[in-house]
Amino acid sequence: MKTNSTKDTLNLMDTVLKDSYGRQIRDLRISVTDRCNFRCFYCLPNGEPTLARKETILTFEEIVFISEIFVSLGIEKIRLTGGEPILRKNLVDLVGKIAALKSNLKDLALTTNGFDFPKHAENLKKSGLDRVTISLDSLKPDKFQQITGVNKLDEVLAAIESAKANDFQPIKINAVIIRDCNDDELVDFAEFARQNEVSFRFIEFMPLDSGHDWKREQVVSGKEIFQKINQVFPLKLKQSPRGNETAWKYEFADGAKGEIGIIAPVTEMFCGQCSRIRLTADGQIRTCLFSTSEHNLRDFIRSGASRIQIIEFIKDVVFKKEPRHRINDTEFVQPARTMSFIGG
């Protein structure tokens, strides 16, 4: 990597990342690969995606360098995503190198489909991974295969057990809820959270599919999700206001362990408190999940830019962060790249 990696004359902690609306950026999502071994129809409904060329993917050295700069600018949380991040060879080594930043970094997490997670769980924990989020869109084998394109429900359930055995806390389970698909499992998911003492997070269906087939009628609103669960398992709000958190968090009123989280970016957008920024596997900064433009940090770094120049590049990009997404605007344009490229 050709870059001036010295500290130059800039004090590491003399600035923080803020956009023009005064929002401080504290969370960085890093996609480490655009490859995935699942074919979830809400992400990749049209078969095999076009993958980025190998030489365009950020190296581990570049990811660690970028992470260190972001942490020096006030990033407190880093989440590794994909694609499926565990498909990135030697991911454990990358986790260990980023975890070395923990004198300032407060949290290092991973989002995974769970398929290969048990093979690596112990080493990921030892390397410094704090938390894990596992996708689970159905508890019914046939429905799971319909949604994901693979018959691997048992493997995902085993991944959750592996996360518990290796003391990842808290364990979050993500389910994208789609009308007339898996919305009949809301109560079952809540029961799963109670029995397994995990945080089950329900996510509204978003327009990030490769086929651009998303329809608003398929969205099950956060309010509807809450009402259906609350009818069977009364819920109590855990915190209000939620600050920069994406999810409204609820506990079970009867004292049962486990947690319910509801993420409603379509019907109850939380852009006003957004503290997140994203880095794609090929080194593009995205200031919003639904951005239609990207900022090429990879080529800027590879051009030999100095550390101060890279910091100024990042600060300039963040300052121009959008005030909100435009899903609910008539002129909304869906991002060209899917969630598998962007990272969750």
Long-range contacts of 19-23 (CB under 8 A, 24+ apart): 19/287, 19/318, 19/319, 19/320, 19/321, 20/319, 20/320, 20/321, 21/321, 21/323, 23/272, 23/273, 23/274, 23/275, 23/321
Q: Which two tokens stand for residue 320?
A: 């121009």
Q: Is the pLDDT confidence value at 219 over 90?
A: yes
Dist. CA 57–CA 133, nearest whole Å = 23
Q: Is the pLDDT confidence value at 42 over 70?
A: yes
Dist. CA 82–CA 96, nearest whole Å = 18
Q: Which two tokens stand for residue 171?
A: 């364990």
* Strand ranges of the sheet holding 199-204, from the earlier edge strand across to the other edge: 235-237, 248-252, 259-263, 199-204, 171-177, 131-135, 107-112, 77-81, 27-31, 276-279, 284-286, 295-296
Class of domain 27-173+271-342: alpha beta
- In the block, tokens 């598998």 appear at 340
pLDDT more than 70, % of the chain: 85
Question: DSSP 3-state assignment of 136?
Answer: coil
| 40, 336 contact by CB (below 8 A) | no
Record the pTM: 0.91
50, amino acid identity: T
Dist. CA 327–CA 338, nearest whole Å = 15
Dist. CA 286–CA 278, nearest whole Å = 5
Q: Is the pLDDT confidence value at 143 over 60?
A: yes
Q: Nearest CA to 98 among 62, 123, 73?
A: 62
- pLDDT of 10 reads 47
**What are the domain boundaries of the chain?**
27-173+271-342
Sign of CA dihedral 269, 324, 242, 25: positive
Per residue in 82-125, pLDDT (tens digit) is 989 999 999 999 999 999 999 899 999 999 999 999 999 999 99
Q: Is the pLDDT confidence value at 48 over 70?
A: no
Q: What is the mean pLDDT of the chain?
A: 89
- pLDDT of 335 reads 65
Confidence of residue 339 (pLDDT cuts 50, 70, 90): low
Dist. CA 225–CA 186, nearest whole Å = 7
Dist. CA 293–CA 184, nearest whole Å = 36
Per residue in 261-308, pLDDT (tens digit) is 999 888 887 676 788 899 999 999 998 877 778 999 999 999 999 999
Dist. CA 1–CA 117, nearest whole Å = 30
137, amino acid identity: D
